[in-house]
Amino acid sequence: GGIITQTPKFLIGQEGQKLTLKCQQNFNHDTMYWYRQDSGKGLRLIYYSITENDLQKGDLSEGYDASREKKSSFSLTVTSAQKNEMAVFLCASNTGYQDTQYFGPGTRLLVL
């Protein structure tokens, strides 16, 4: 078994601020993902990475940057926080194509 940890659990920022969310997994998975979940809605893919130093854009990548410097970690940066970005950001990982994705507990973002 393994676990995905996301830090921080809650992130409060000011409009226009640059904010970074972190994700760590100890599954030894190759692929990692960042999703955004708006209240009451489904998940939308922001970025994913199939290996260290790889980055692939999802459908919602505008306004975000990502970084995969180690196999076990994947960071997401909100480049300029906007009030309509209040959401939960979920990190996930798996071995890749067709494998089950395992999800972290999420980071809840609040922009004042």
Partner 1 sequence: AQSVDQPDAHVTLSEGASLELRCSYSYSAAPYLFWYVQYPGQSLQFLLKYITGDTVVKGTKGFEAEFRKSNSSFNLKKSPAHWSDSAKYFCALGNQGGSAKLIFGEGTKLTVSS
The reply on whether position 2 binds partner 1 by CB under 8 A is: no
The reply on whether position 50 binds partner 1 by CB under 8 A is: yes
Q: Which residues make beta-bridge pairs with 89?
A: 36, 107
The reply on whether position 102 binds partner 1 by CB under 8 A is: yes
CB 29 within 8 A of CB 100: no
Determine the size of the site formed for partner 1 (CB under 8 A). Answer: 25
Tell me the C-alpha distance between 92 and 35, whole Å.
Answer: 8
Measured between its terminal Cα atoms, the distance across the chain in Å is 38
- Regarding beta strands 4-7 and 102-103, do their DSSP bridges make them parallel or antiparallel, or are they unpaired? unpaired
- Name the nearest CA neighbour of 11 among 85, 92, 61: 85
Give the one residue of 55, 58, 65, 71 binding partner 1; rule: CB under 8 A.
58
The reply on whether position 90 binds partner 1 by CB under 8 A is: yes
Nearest-approach distance from CB 72 to partner 1, in angstroms: 17
Residue range at the interface with partner 1 (CB under 8 A); choices 9-17, 19-27, 64-72, 89-97: 89-97
The reply on whether position 44 binds partner 1 by CB under 8 A is: yes
